[in-house]
Structure formats: structure tokens, C-alpha cells
């Protein structure tokens, strides 16, 4: 459908296959170390949910909520982990790495808190938009510059529950009306715009 405002980038079955591979790699690399997976809320939740079930060694899961301010990448912890990361082998679980600024701050913070090791698993990597060089040990997919939605990724809180990854073609429309893609993605929904 050429006139649709969003286009499919990664279908659900390809996401599932890749997440299985990442789970197998983590299981192999962290055997005997019971890693602490720290998921960055909210966008990483579908990825986390599938990833943990693809891991076949003992693990623990925790959550971190961040607030971002402006363009400068300044971040603040809005919700801290329940567990201490001291002495733990931490795997940050992220939805998408863009400039890399958030991840850089987060890695430094976890290292300062005494984590035994810190690695990152991200579903999506926008490699070309990187502003800072930051290591990414487990990467699902490399993508271009487009704004992505679905499988956890949102626009103003919408579209997180799509099972595939989509690129927004008409960003202006979405800026004007965050629900502009509801007709494409939720066709049976009787629209109540709020």
C-alpha cells in the first residue's frame, strides 16, 4: 500500500528469530555468572519479555526509568533499580540506540556503582546517527535514520503494541496528530481520538 504513512522495516517473525539468536549468545557468554538484566523502561519491554525466554541460564531482571531533558542528552533517573548492581554482571536491555548519549551516561553510572561488568543488548541500532562512540555487545538490527515505531517503540505513547517494527514516512502528519496512524494499524478500532 504505497500511500500508507508507515512502512514495514522488520516483520515479527524476523524479530523473533533474531531475539532467539541474541538469547543464545547471552546464554553462552554469561554461563555461570547469573547476569542482572536491567531493562530501560518503557520501550524495551517487548524485547525484554522475548529475550528472557530465549535465555536458558539463570538470570535476574530489574528495571530503570529515565527522564530526558532537551537535545543535550541530559538524563535523570526517574525510577531506580530494586537490586544493587554492585558486583553484578549487568546487561542493559534497550529498545534503540540513536546518538548513544543516553547509553554512555547509563554505562558510566552503572560502572561507578560498582558493577562487575556492563554490557548492552539493544534491539535496534541507528549506527549512522551515533554522536559518541559507545560499545554495544548485542545488537538485533542495524537500521537507517527513519523514525521507528512498534515492538515497544512509540510516538507520544502510541504504537508500542505493534508486533513488528515500522518506519514512519510522514512524520509531519504524526507531529500534527499522534493518532494519525491508527487507521493503518488498528483498522477495526472505532476511533475515539484521545
Residues at the site binding ligand 5GP, with contacts judged by CB under 6 A? 43, 73, 95-103, 126, 147-149, 153-154
Distance of alpha carbon 72 from alpha carbon 25, whole angstroms:
34
d(CA 33, CA 57): 9
Measured CA to CA, the distance from residue 158 to residue 126 in angstroms comes to 21
We find the least distance from the C-beta atom of residue 181 to ligand 5GP, in angstroms, to be: 12
Catalytic hit among 50, 98, 125, 183:
98
- 66 near 81, Cβ under 8 Å? no
Rounded to the nearest whole angstrom, what is the least distance from the CB of residue 32 to ligand 5GP in the complex?
31
The CB-of-170 to ligand 5GP minimum distance in angstroms stands at: 14
In angstroms, what CA-CA distances link 19 with 26, 69, 85, 131?
A: 10, 31, 24, 26
Indicate the residue among 30 and 166 with the shorter CB distance to ligand 5GP.
166
For ligand 5GP, the closer of residues 45 and 116 by Cβ is 45
User: Catalytic residue at 98?
Assistant: yes
Q: Which residues are catalytic?
A: 98
Amino acid at each position: 500500500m504505497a500511500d500508507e504513512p508507515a512502512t514495514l522495516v522488520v516483520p515479527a517473525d524476523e524479530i523473533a528469530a533474531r531475539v532467539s539468536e541474541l538469547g543464545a549468545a547471552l546464554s553462552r557468554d554469561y554461563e555461570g555468572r547469573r547476569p542482572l538484566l536491567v531493562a530501560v523502561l518503557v520501550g524495551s519491554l517487548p524485547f525484554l519479555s522475548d529475550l528472557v525466554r530465549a535465555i536458558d541460564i539463570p538470570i535476574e531482571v530489574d528495571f530503570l526509568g529515565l527522564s530526558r531533558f532537551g537535545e543535550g542528552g541530559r538524563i535523570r533517573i526517574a525510577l531506580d533499580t530494586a537490586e544493587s548492581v554492585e558486583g553484578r554482571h549487568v546487561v542493559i536491555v534497550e529498545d534503540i540506540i540513536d546518538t548513544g548519549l543516553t547509553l554512555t551516561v547509563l554505562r558510566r553510572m552503572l560502572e561507578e556503582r560498582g558493577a562487575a561488568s556492563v554490557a548492552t543488548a539493544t534491539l535496534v541500532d541507528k549506527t549512522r546517527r551515533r554522536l559518541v562512540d559507545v560499545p554495544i555487545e548485542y545488537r538485533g538490527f542495524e537500521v537507517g535514520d527513519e523514525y521507528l515505531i512498534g515492538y515497544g517503540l512509540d510516538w507520544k505513547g502510541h504504537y508500542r503494541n505493534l508486533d513488528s517494527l515500522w518506519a514512519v514516512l510522514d512524520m509531519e502528519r504524526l507531529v500534527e496528530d499522534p493518532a494519525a496512524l491508527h487507521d493503518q494499524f488498528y483498522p477495526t478500532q472505532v476511533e475515539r481520538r484521545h
